[in-house]
Amino acid sequence: MNAPVYLDYNATAPLYPEVVERMSVVMSAPLNASAVHARGREGRKIIEAARRNVSALVGADPENVIFNSGATEGNNTVLRHFNGRVLVSAIEHPSVLQVRPDAEIIPVKPSGVIDLLALEEALQKEPKAALVSLMLANNETGIIQPAKEVAGLAMRYGAWMHCDAVQAAGKIPVDMTALGIHFMTLSAHKIGGPQGVGALVLGQCGETPMLLAGGGQEKKARAGTENVAGVAGFGLAAEMALKNLADNQLKQANLRDGMERRLCDLYPDIAIHGAAETRLPNTSLFSLPGLKAETLLMALDLAGVCVSNGSACTSGKVEASHVLKAMNVPQAEIVSALRVSLGYGTDSGDIETFLAALKRSVPVDKIQSSSSGG
């Protein structure tokens, strides 16, 4: 049986073969980076090399990279650190939206871009906001947010800026120093590294949020024995993502744009969300009104094609997109939304297989009759 065509890189990217090999070698030795003997020093050397690679990927100082279990931990660490008013955008990942029930939600425009006027109005209120949290690129639509402008507004009104850059890092150039971001969260498994490893990267802010105490690891900023093999895999994945960034951007954008043109030819009533905005080159979120995403996902899965209906953060459930709701997208489009996300291993054959499977699952006359029937 052939392996499924995998078009769900925004959920998790397959491990680079080189990362698997690297981690296998590192795991074969007892490397506790906190130990002072030779094996401990070897583990420490591996971690520091990875720290340099991750910092290079996002334009940060290596000393400000704190390894952890992933962006969910990083997001919790930052948002729980601040006791004052916290402002978060309406399109954030649940690991931001659910951390602080008292957070004030900043709306986005129908385009999917944060409403800067609404943000400034919230920042002008008393007491002053302590933190603004905005993802760099949305995981569902791929829309890139104006992080630099938001960071500038936050600074103007005395607030810090947190950015979940999980989807952006490794897909577009990221320089957190140039953007003015104070706290950035990353996950290795989005760029071909292992699951369960990530980083909280600090900007030039002098603040070090801490969630876990009880040890001196990670410069006393994150207690717990370091996952040396996982960190090694993250470091190599970051190095490869940066090295191949320009080529992957061009390749994925060409594949995605060509796929969308053919989808529009096949289904004139299709809605491609965020198509008018600057998006990640690998991401396409579209709706076929009159159909149900769950039905489409099952049909494509049976045809050997893996896509999703949005965020893979609800334990396998097919749920309506809160991102599209925040964009005031019609309900008929929300319930029929599918996300296709490409990656380093995607080729034109994968796109052909997906389009053929979709055409078999959704004949043109079916979608036209469904949409015209209201």
Structure tokens at 320: 């309506």
The two beta strands, 129-133 and 85-89, are parallel
How are beta strands 183-187 and 198-202 bridged, if at all? antiparallel
In this structure, what token pair is assigned to residue 194? 């292992």
Measured CA to CA in angstroms, residue 113 lies from 90, 149, 323 at distances of 10, 12, 11
Q: Does the active-site annotation cover 205?
A: no
Phi, psi of 120 (to 5 degrees): -65, -35
Closest listed residue to residue 153, CA positions, set 120, 110, 193: 120
Dihedral sign (CA 1, 364, 322, 148): positive
* 8 Å CB contact between 97 and 135: no
CA 324-372-338 angle, to 5 degrees, is 30
Tokens linked to 285:
């979120």
Question: At what angle are helices 293-302 and 348-361 packed, to 10 degrees?
Answer: 120
165/281 Cα distance (integer angstroms): 15
Three-state secondary-structure class, residue 263: helix
CA atoms within 13 A on the CB side of 218: 29
Q: Is the peptide bond before 127 cis (omega within 30 degrees of 0)?
A: yes
Q: Which position among 205, 264, 306, 313 bears the catalytic label?
A: 313
Within 10 Å of residue 94's Cβ, how many Cβ atoms? 13
SS3 (DSSP) at 86: strand
The span from the CA of 324 to the CA of 352, in Å, is 27
Catalytic residues: 313
